[in-house]
Amino acid sequence: MRPCTSHGKVQRGVALKARNVRLAHQQAQKEANSSQIMLKEALLAIWMLILTLCHPFEHRRMRVGVDYGPRLIGLAYSDLFGQLHPIQTLRNTGDLIQISSVVLTRARSLGAAEVVVGVPSDFDGRYDHQVRNFNGQLCLNFSTVLSTLSLNKYDDKAKVFLFDEKYTTKEAKMKMQMDRKRGRCVCVCMYM
């Protein structure tokens, strides 16, 4: 009498399906993280562009922009010619001193004289509920630690500015949707 092999085939089939589901889930997580990072970089580029159009900074100075979020922190810089370049996206560990040190070290290595931190506000330029609640308060706490560390730790002190970043999320999402409809990849390369 021959042994029944269908039970082994069923077990292998179930294991194969479970593996495929797990791989599909991991791929979906990677794509979600990638789109979050692309959104962060697009957001940062848009509000850095708005910053230079609206804020009377000195021309021809390098700046580092920080988009501080509860999970991810986006860093970008503008070169002497005003072109924006994403630096990196950091995971927010919650250690404000360590993150501030990383930002200031990057700013110093690039020769940036100014660090700009985005903070949400409402129509009138007042801090809205996001600032009074979680996200905005995190931005304010981070910028306080960043400016204190800049004053105490480094000889060539970088100026820390707050920038009103209202509407930048909507603008970045709309730009990403338009680029996806056209079948192009989002390239964050704007001029300041």
Give the residue numbers spanning the domain of 79.
Answer: 35-181
Q: How many domains does the chain have?
A: 1
CATH number, domain at 99? Answer: 3.30.420.60
CA dihedral 14, 15, 19, 25 (to 10 degrees): 50
What pLDDT score does 7 carry?
Answer: 56
DSSP, residue by residue, 103-155: HHHHHHHHT-SEEEEEE---TTSS--HHHHSHHHHHHHHHHHHHHHHHHHH-S
Residue type, 11: Q
List Cβ neighbours of 49 (8 Å cut-off, separation of 6 or more).
84, 190, 191, 192
pLDDT in tens, the chain (192 residues): 555 555 556 566 667 677 777 777 777 777 767 777 777 777 777 766 666 555 555 556 788 889 888 888 989 888 777 777 888 889 999 899 999 999 998 888 888 888 888 887 665 656 555 555 567 778 888 888 888 888 877 666 778 888 877 666 666 677 767 766 655 444 343 333
Whether residue 125 is contained in a domain is answered as yes
With respect to residue 18, please indicate whether it lies within any of the assigned structural domains.
Answer: no
d(CA 186, CA 172) in angstroms, rounded, equals 10
What's the pLDDT at 81?
72
Q: How far apart are the first and last CA of the chain?
A: 81
Residue 99, beta-bridge partner list: none
pLDDT reported for residue 158: 78
The tokens describing 140, both together, are: 């304010």
Domain presence at residue 169: yes
- At 191 the pLDDT is 33
- Residue 188 falls within a domain, yes or no? no
CA 69 to chain centre: 7
- Round to whole Å and give the CA distance between 189 and 129: 31
Give domain status of residue 8, yes or no. no
Q: How far apart are CA 106 and CA 65, in angstroms?
A: 11
Residue 189 lies in a domain: no
CA 117 – CA 107 distance, rounded (Å): 13
11 part of a folded domain = no
Rounded Cα gap, residues 110 and 104, in angstroms? 10
